[in-house]
Structure 1
Amino acid sequence: MPQVLEFKLPDLGEGLTEAEIVRWLVEVGDVVAIDQPVVEVETAKAMVEVPCPYGGVVTARFGEEGAELPVGAPLLTVAVGSQEPLAGQAPASGSSSGSGAAAKTGSAPGNESASGNVLVGYGTGAPAARRRRVRPASFSAPVPVPVLSPVPAAEEARGPVAVVSPLVRKLARQHGLDLRLVAGSGRDGLILRTDVESAIRVVEEERAAAAPAARPAGERIALRGVRGAVADKLARSRREIPDATCWVDADATELMAARAAMNRAGGSAAAPKVSVLALLARICTAALARFPELNSTVDTEAREIVRLSEVHLGFAAQTERGLVVPVVRDAHSRNVESVGAEIARLTEVARTGKLTPADLTGGTFTLNNYGVFGVDGSTPIINHPEAAMLGVGRIVPKPWVHQGELAVRQVVQLSLTFDHRVCDGGTAGGFLRYVADCVEQPAVLLRTL
């Protein structure tokens, strides 16, 4: 007799508490194998394909594409011990008799049916599940229960309410919504976030019909996913960090000539080219070795500055999903070629939207090349909780006094935004001046190699 096991949204790490369903990879009635990806979700950090730790037949899915679910909310249920798809359903693409066999052997928790991949809340041991008899004729997707005319309430709902997520309770409280008047579409009447959001929309529509619009009409774009995470981080940076910015123009003619010479010395046309960003990254690591105050963070609770021994260099990258900051690990121990190769790899992964949370966290200093947008200067916002960011404008021909004579040179503007708690202007100016000297005379960098 098959056993129905419930798979809940696992803890995806990095302190993430919720995720948005982007795309279901399986349908009700599909046969899934152990560790087969079943849904693609977007967190505040990245897009993630979530594997199912059970093998069997999908009996129900919870949540439509675009819905946000808290960690621990049901994702789907799987009938373990049954390898036959539902009547009228074909096996999922990529499924085989081998996957069906895996499902069949996994008819009882605590044996080989357990996933080999360790998700938070799902280990290689026995999965925690409620035992239910499988009635194939009743396998179907859950039907949402209609919302029962919600109205705002001034006080917290009293009595037992079918709500598990504290995020759902908070959302209802913020909008003055009485949860006792909301019917849940989850299992056993559980009130989900989508139920509360639907109820809030009904209330707002009723209010809008009774009074003139208080806000201007227009397209509204929710701050969710990556864009929402960036908005929160930038707002926190400006709220907590007393930042200051200094800048300088530098003659990058010699740097560009050195780059051209490096690429000519590469030998074949297929050899990877040295990028300007890779050169600037190597200059940054050399400057941070001289001015370690800027490779630090502030512990606000302990009122301490924490100087970091390793440089994990972030670089700003614009993608279709918004601004992201991939991190080059241990940049201080890499040469120009190694840094350039890692920047190229992370940039390509960012373009495909496959950066993991680990790729986007742990940075200690950020390099921001906004020159690619055709602008000369900017005052970048520090990537919290870091202490500084170097901004680089476009490199363009400009009149410049060179060796006592007016000449046309390749000029770039460099700007450093820094946390004034970790250092004073003298240190920040020294760092920026050293970077500018390396740009103008790349041979200066050889003294630190």
Structure 2
Amino acid sequence: MAQVLEFKLPDLGEGLTEAEIVRWLVNVGDVVAIDQPVVEVETAKAMVEVPCPYGGVVTARFGEEGTELPVGAPLLTVAVGSGTAPEPDGDGGGSGNVLVGYGTSEAPARRRRVRATAAGGPAGQPAPAVPAPAPAPVAAPAATAAPGTGPVPVISPLVRRLARDNDLDLRQLAGSGPDGLILRADVEGALRARTAPAPAAQEPSARVSAGSPVRDGVRIPLKGVRGAVADKLSRSRREIPDATCWVDADATELMRARAAMNAAGASRISLIALLARICAAALARHPELNSYVDTEAREVVRLDEVHLGFAAQTERGLVVPVVRDAHARDAESLTAEFARLTEAARTGTLTPAELTGGTFTLNNYGVFGVDGSTPIINHPEAAMLGVGRIVPKPWVHEGELAVRQVVQLSLTFDHRVCDGGTAGGFLRYVADCVEQPAVLLRTL
């Protein structure tokens, strides 16, 4: 006889406490194999597919697409056992993998059997291994419904808790989700409206600006990756007293060196890989910039390894993948790793581990066609090197005016970890390596 096991949203690691359902990969009634991905969720770090540790028939799903669920909330139930799908070796409980590399290493401790209803057996007996029909959609109640009556179209326990903590009656809301489902954004909007001051009375003519009536703008929730980036940038601005210095450099010789490398080798070397190699060499000479500030202990913590982050713009917002141990990699290894992480960023398959733990960031904003920038430091790091576009410009070379490939380099740094002399020394060394790549031979 089959038993019905409940699979909950697993711990996704890195301190993540919730995730939004982006897309269901299975339907009620589908047969799933052990460790088959069943749902795609978006966390504050990345988009990930969640595999189910059980094999069998999906009997129920919890949460519509667009719903946010806290870690530990039920995702789906699966009927496992005779007549469903092959069971794993051992006690038949599942693979125990849940989401490899995301903070879980064993199967959920709690399992529950589906209680028989009026159409099933007596209470307390296991229900037959028959797929349960999908629950009928709940219509959104009218805004005038009396408090305390009628069903509430809300699935996420996070939404219920948010409303309960703020004494908000969910029955007074009309949900914006599918079939009137009340989402977290609906509750937050109601709370903002409740605390917002009442607008002053206006004459009709006061609502006309430049000949057009005032209209409400489009509201875009700051959640998922965009919300996490917004929080991190805001924290950086609040906590880090940053400063920026910059210098123009003649990159002609660096471009020639790269062309020679690519002509001589089977694999091509990317420009960002060469810049990363230069960064690692500069950080070895100026370790103050490969650090972070422990505000509680009032200490600057210098780090030995260079885990180099790089800014990548994607359709889902700005992400900063991290190249581990950049100081120990050669140009070919750096090129391959940058390419792999960039592709993962574009497809939304970066893992939380690949988005955290950076010690220094390289920001190549030249790809956007701009020369300079004063970026916000990637908290809690201490510095960021910015690289503008490389363009032909008039330049005095060996005492004569010539057209050279010129780039603007900038360093934004935490003034708590070093003074302008150290920052200037770092940036000058980087510029020297760009202008004379042979300088790097000292560190190879």
Scaled to the shorter chain, the TM-score interval is: 0.7 to 0.9
2:251 paired residue number:
252
Per-residue Cα deviation, 1:61-96 (whole angstroms, up to 9, x for no partner): 111111111111111111222535xxxxxxxxxxxx
* Matched residue, 2:16: 16
Letter in 1 for 2:97: N
Question: In the alignment, what sits opposite 1:228?
Answer: 227
Aligned to 2:424: 429
Residue type of the partner of 2:404? Answer: R
TM-score norm. by structure 1 comes to 0.82
Aligned counterpart for 1:142 among listed residues 130, 135, 139: 135
The residue type paired with residue 256 of structure 1 is M
C-alpha distance in 1 between matches for 2:234 and 2:272: 27
User: 1:112 corresponds to which letter in structure 2?
Assistant: G
Q: What is aligned with 2:46?
A: 46
In structure 2, the CA distance between the partners of 1:289 and 1:405, relative to structure 1 (3 Å rule), is: same
Q: Distance in 1 between matches of 2:291 and 2:253?
A: 31
RMSD over aligned Cα atoms: 3.3
Equivalent-residue separation in structure 2 for 1:226 and 1:9 (angstroms): 19
Structure 2 contact 51–98 (Cα < 8 Å) conserved? no
Which SS does the other structure have where 2:333 is aligned?
A: helix
Corresponding residue number in structure 1 for 2:391: 396
State the AA in 2 paired with 1:375.
V
> 1:244, 1:22 → 2: CA distance?
39
State the AA in 1 paired with 2:402: A
Tell me which amino acid in the other structure corresponds to 1:223. L
Cα distance change, pair 16–167 in 1 and its aligned pair in 2 (3 A): farther
Q: Mapping of 1:267-416 within 5 angstroms? A: 271-416=266-411
Amino acid at match of 1:130: R
Shift in Å, 1:419: 0.5
Between the aligned partners of 1:401 and 1:24, the Cα distance in structure 2 is 61
Matched, 1:169 2:161: yes
Change (3 A) 1:207 1:352: same
Structure 1 residue 263, shift from structure 2 partner: 1.1
Contact map agreement 2:143 2:172 (CA 8 A) in 1:
yes
Secondary structure class of the residue paired with 2:443: coil
Distance 1:137-1:32 versus aligned 2 partners, 3 A rule:
closer
Q: Which secondary structure state, in structure 2, belongs to the residue aligned with residue 414 of structure 1? A: strand
CA shift, 1:276, in A, is 1.1
Report what 2:237 is aligned to. Answer: 238
- Encode CA deviations 1:173-226: one digit per residue, 9 max, x unaligned: 45x514697999xxxxxxxx9466556667889999x97899951211111111
CA distance in 2, matches of 1:137, 1:201: 41
What secondary structure, in the 3-state scheme, does the structure 1 residue paired with 2:416 have? Answer: coil
Q: TM-score, normalised by structure 2?
A: 0.83
For residues 63-212 of structure 1, what are the structure 2 equivalents within 5 Å?
63-84=63-84, 100-102=85-87, 111-117=91-97, 119=99, 123-124=105-106, 127-132=109-114, 133-134=126-127, 139-143=132-136, 168-170=160-162, 173=165, 177-178=168-169, 194=182, 197-198=185-186
- Kept after mapping to 1: 8 A contact 2:291/2:300: yes
**What is the CA distance between 1:123 and its match in structure 2?**
4.8
Cα pair 2:163 2:169 within 8 Å, conserved: no
Q: Evaluate the alpha carbon distance shift between residue 272 and residue 127 of structure 1 in structure 2; reply closer, same or farther with a 3 A threshold.
A: same
**Residue pair 1:278, 1:336 contacting (<8 A) in 2 also:** yes
* Kept in 2: contact 1:150–1:202 (CA 8 A): no
Cα 1:139–1:429 change in 2 (3 A) is: same
Partner amino acid for 2:244? T
The code of the aligned residue for 2:9 comes to L
1:61 equivalent to 2:56? Answer no
Which AA in structure 2 matches 1:280? L
Aligned equivalents of 1:121, 1:341: Cα separation in 2: 27
- Structure 1 residues 206, 302: CA separation in 2 closer, same or farther (over 3 Å shift)? closer
Does the 8 A contact of 1:316 with 1:367 survive in 2? yes
Amino acid at match of 1:241: I
Paired with 1:205 and 1:312, the residues of 2 have a C-alpha distance of: 44
Percent of aligned pairs with the same amino acid: 75
Cα separation, partners in 2 of 1:139 and 1:432, compared to 1, 3 Å: same
**CA 343–401 in structure 1, closer or farther in 2 if over 3 Å, else same:** same
Q: Which segments of 5 or more consecutive residues in structure 2 lack a partner in the other structure?
A: 115-125, 145-153, 176-180, 208-213
Residue 262 of structure 2 corresponds to residue 263 of structure 1: yes
CA distance in 2, matches of 1:57, 1:34: 11
State how far apart, in whole Å, the 1-side matches of 2:20 and 2:258 are. Answer: 43
